[in-house]
């Protein structure tokens, strides 16, 4: 059984740039959720995808967008990067029938300068 993987592991961008983060779900999982974890904080829910459609969204602006592909892998896109976007971005996969049981990837650490 393959766990959740994310790429890249680290990324440095400058203000105003755009970034794409990638996630491969755990085998058999049909739902993917993205979280932002600022330093010293708990993860904050960004959005969830199920069957390639957004299935819930947290309090994040539209410049945060995502995609889910037929193989259940996913992307998180952030446009017009701001300094406060610097954080660890976590992807978690689950089954839609067991939404509470989420398996997290190692995260992508994004630094915006």
What backbone phi and psi angles, to 5 degrees, belong to 53?
Answer: -125, 150
How many CA atoms lie within 13 Å of 12's alpha carbon, on the beta-carbon side? 1
Please report how close the Cβ of residue 14 comes to another protein at its closest, in angstroms. Answer: 24
For residue 66, state whether it binds another protein (rule: CB under 8 A): no
85/105 with CB nearer another protein: 105
For residue 44, state whether it binds another protein (rule: CB under 8 A): yes
Residues with Cβ < 8 Å from 71, sequence gap 6 or more? none
For residue 56, state whether it binds another protein (rule: CB under 8 A): yes
- Which of 22, 30, 45, 95 forms a contact with another protein (CB under 8 A)? 45
Nearest to 73 by CA among 112, 36, 20: 20
Q: Residue 34: beta bridge partners?
A: 47, 91
- Residues lying near another protein in the complex (CB under 8 A) are found at 4, 33, 35, 40-45, 48, 56, 58-59, 90, 92, 99-107
């Amino acid at each position: 059984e393959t766990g959740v993987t994310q790429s890249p592991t680290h990324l440095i961008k400058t203000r105003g740039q755009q970034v794409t983060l990638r996630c491969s779900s755990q085998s058999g999982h049909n739902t993917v959720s993205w979280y932002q974890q600022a330093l010293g904080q708990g993860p904050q829910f960004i959005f969830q995808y199920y069957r390639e459609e957004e299935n819930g969204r947290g309090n994040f602006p539209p410049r945060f967008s995502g995609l889910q592909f037929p193989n259940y892998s996913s992307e998180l896109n952030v446009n017009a990067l701001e300094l406060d976007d610097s954080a660890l971005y976590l992807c978690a996969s689950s089954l839609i029938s067991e939404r509470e049981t989420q398996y997290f990837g190692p995260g992508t650490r994004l630094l915006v300068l």
